[in-house]
């Protein structure tokens, strides 16, 4: 499925960015924001890959699971993008970007739960 390949590609980019931000946080002064951004990208890149695997096995409701997976990508991008921009540019992506991304990720995890319950047996 085309959406699955897109999400797998995004997960790869998120993983690469997560590792780069981890390195930057380890070598930069006062770079704790980058460590948080790195963690969110790495955790949710893995979550995307796992959710796609569950979707292809039919263990999650297709529509709900797909929405949750896109939510992981969007939420992590908002969260990590905001923290990274604050670190390097000194300003936010937009007001409440990181908390919005966090809420999207929380909602996505809840959607995975609903997708598991709603999956066809």
| 13-70 per-position pLDDT tens digit | 999 999 999 999 999 878 889 999 999 999 999 999 999 999 999 999 999 999 999 9
What torsion do the CA atoms of 20, 24, 27, 30 make, to the nearest 10 degrees?
A: -150
pLDDT above 70: percentage of residues in the chain: 99
Whether the per-residue pLDDT at 121 is higher than 80: the answer is no
**Is 69 within 8 Å of 56 (Cβ atoms)?**
no
- Compute how many other C-beta atoms are within 10 angstroms of the C-beta atom of residue 9: 11
Tokens representing 59? 């263990």
Mean pLDDT of the chain: 96
Nearest-angstrom CA–CA distance, 8 and 116:
20
Tokens representing 80? 């990590």
Q: In the prediction, which pLDDT does 29 show? A: 78
Nearest-angstrom CA–CA distance, 53 and 5:
11
How does DSSP assign 1-68, residue by residue?
-HHHHHHHHHHHHHHHHHHHHHHHHHHSTT-HHHHHHHHHHHHHHHHHHHHHHHHHTT-S-HHHHHHH
What's the whole-model pTM score?
A: 0.94
Q: In the prediction, which pLDDT does 31 show? A: 84
Tokens representing 6? 């897109």
For the segment 88-111, the average pLDDT, to the nearest whole number, is 97
Nearest-angstrom CA–CA distance, 113 and 111:
5
Q: In the prediction, which pLDDT does 25 show? A: 94
Q: In the prediction, which pLDDT does 120 show? A: 87
For the segment 93-120, the average pLDDT, to the nearest whole number, is 97
């Amino acid at each position: 499925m085309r959406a699955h390949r897109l999400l797998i590609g995004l997960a790869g980019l998120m993983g690469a960015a997560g590792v780069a931000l981890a390195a930057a946080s380890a070598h930069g002064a006062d770079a704790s924001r980058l460590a948080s951004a790195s963690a969110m990208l790495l955790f949710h890149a893995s979550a995307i890959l796992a959710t796609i695997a569950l979707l292809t096995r039919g263990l999650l409701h297709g529509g709900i699971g797909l929405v949750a997976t896109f939510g992981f990508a969007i939420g992590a991008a908002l969260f990590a993008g905001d923290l990274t921009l604050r670190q390097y540019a000194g300003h936010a992506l937009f007001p409440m970007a990181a908390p919005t991304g966090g809420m999207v990720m929380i909602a996505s995890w809840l959607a995975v739960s609903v997708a598991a319950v709603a999956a066809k047996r």
